[in-house]
Amino acid sequence: MNAPAKMSASLYALLSITFWGISFVSTKAVLEKIDPYSLLVLRFGIGALFLFCMIVVFRYPLKVRITHLPHLLVLGILGVYVHQLIQATALLSIQASDAGWLISFSPIFTIALSFIFLHEPLSLKKTTGIITAVLGVLLITSGGEGSFIKLSLSMGYLLMILSTLNWAVYSVLLKKLAVPLPSIVLTFYMSIIGCLLTLPIFIRNQGLTQLAALELSHWAHLLFLGIFVSAVAYWYWAKAHEILPASQVSVFMYLEPLATLSAAMLLLHEKLAATSVIGGLFILTGVLLAQHQKRK
């Protein structure tokens, strides 16, 4: 593998993580004007339209076997509809920067699920990493008090932690089901499923009326969420996997909280509590320890 190919793959992965990290900030900004369901309909709709245009331009086949439709439905519900709805609802009551730290806790759930269902052994290093990451979560959710005894988890924190568990389940299913479709086509179908599932609630909540309250800045955030987060990020992530091993690509996920923190301070003017920063570092350290494997 030549150096330019590695460089381009690294750039694809870095852009994907940057877009995903900033997405928490854009989501929180738009939620000031519309409810989570209206946000998701617009986001999925914009993303699906963009992906369809890319599919037409690059001539990807849209044909899918009937036997794979249940797989697409499960992945669309968990990976798109449920995951994004939980995160959007959580961001109504917590800071985007805290959400960025907590989402990096997802690999811990993946390890736990692998231990329970796949009977993968838990080494001392993995156990230490899990405990360290959990301590980091406790620090962040202490609300700046830095006291585990007085810990009071708000619904927003609980939902964000639940979203990391949901993403771990989705990731395991995505690998296990292995739907034989190009990643951009798979993402297109999942976006369509998310949009259709949310549309009835959008209509019931008079979503069109909410759109009148949106300003130009909110539409800019929506276009970013639809095109760059829901479409381009998944597309580039898949392109990076085509060149680099999955283990090397996954390393870039540790940069996601940094993108969230930077955007939250610049765009939302959020102030970072010391416990949030320390807790985030605990989570990252714990994840690195838990995922570390000895090489022969």
For the residues 148-163, what does the mean pLDDT come to?
68
Residue 115: closest CA among 103, 129, 104, 101: 129
Whether the predicted pLDDT of 274 surpasses 60: yes
Q: Please, what is the average pLDDT of the chain?
A: 78
| Residue entry with tokens 């989501």 | 27
Are the CB atoms for 121 and 294 separated by under 8 Å?
A: no
pLDDT, tens digit, 9 for 90 and up, residues 72-84: 899 889 888 888 8
| Residue entry with tokens 């759109």 | 211
Confidence of residue 294 (pLDDT cuts 50, 70, 90): very low
- Exposure pattern of 142-166 as b/e (b: 16+ CB <10 Å)? bbeeeeeeeeeeeebbebbbbbbbb
**How far is it, in rounded angstroms, from Cα 205 to Cα 15?**
35
In the chain, the percentage of residues whose pLDDT exceeds 90 is 8
pLDDT, tens digit, 9 for 90 and up, residues 215-270: 898 899 999 999 998 888 877 877 776 677 655 666 676 677 777 777 777 777 77
Residue of 163 and 178 predicted with greater confidence: 163
Whether the predicted pLDDT of 54 surpasses 80: yes
Whether the predicted pLDDT of 143 surpasses 70: no
pLDDT, tens digit, 9 for 90 and up, residues 204-213: 888 888 888 8
Confidence of residue 292 (pLDDT cuts 50, 70, 90): low
Category of 251 on φ-ψ map: left (φ > 0), alpha (ψ -120 to 50) or beta: alpha
pLDDT, tens digit, 9 for 90 and up, residues 83-104: 888 988 888 888 777 777 777 6
- DSSP secondary structure letter of residue 118: S
In the chain, the percentage of residues whose pLDDT exceeds 70 is 80
What is the structure's pLDDT at 52?
Answer: 93
Confidence of residue 201 (pLDDT cuts 50, 70, 90): confident
**How far is it, in rounded angstroms, from Cα 271 to Cα 257?**
15
Residue 165's Cβ-side half-sphere holds a number of Cα atoms within 13 Å equal to 9
Confidence of residue 150 (pLDDT cuts 50, 70, 90): very low
CA–CA distances in Å: residue 201 to residues 86, 91, 104, 206, 225 = 15, 19, 30, 8, 20
What is the structure's pLDDT at 279?
Answer: 73
Residue 188: closest CA among 16, 74, 44: 44
Whether the predicted pLDDT of 12 surpasses 80: yes
What is the structure's pLDDT at 2?
Answer: 72
Q: Is 149 helix (H, G, I), strand (E, B) or coil?
A: coil
pLDDT, tens digit, 9 for 90 and up, residues 24-33: 888 888 888 8
Residue 158: closest CA among 59, 92, 205: 92
Looking at residue 12, its amino acid is Y
Burial class of residue 172, CB neighbours in 10 A (0-12, 13-18, 19+):
middle
What is the structure's pLDDT at 295?
Answer: 41
First to last CA, the chain: 23
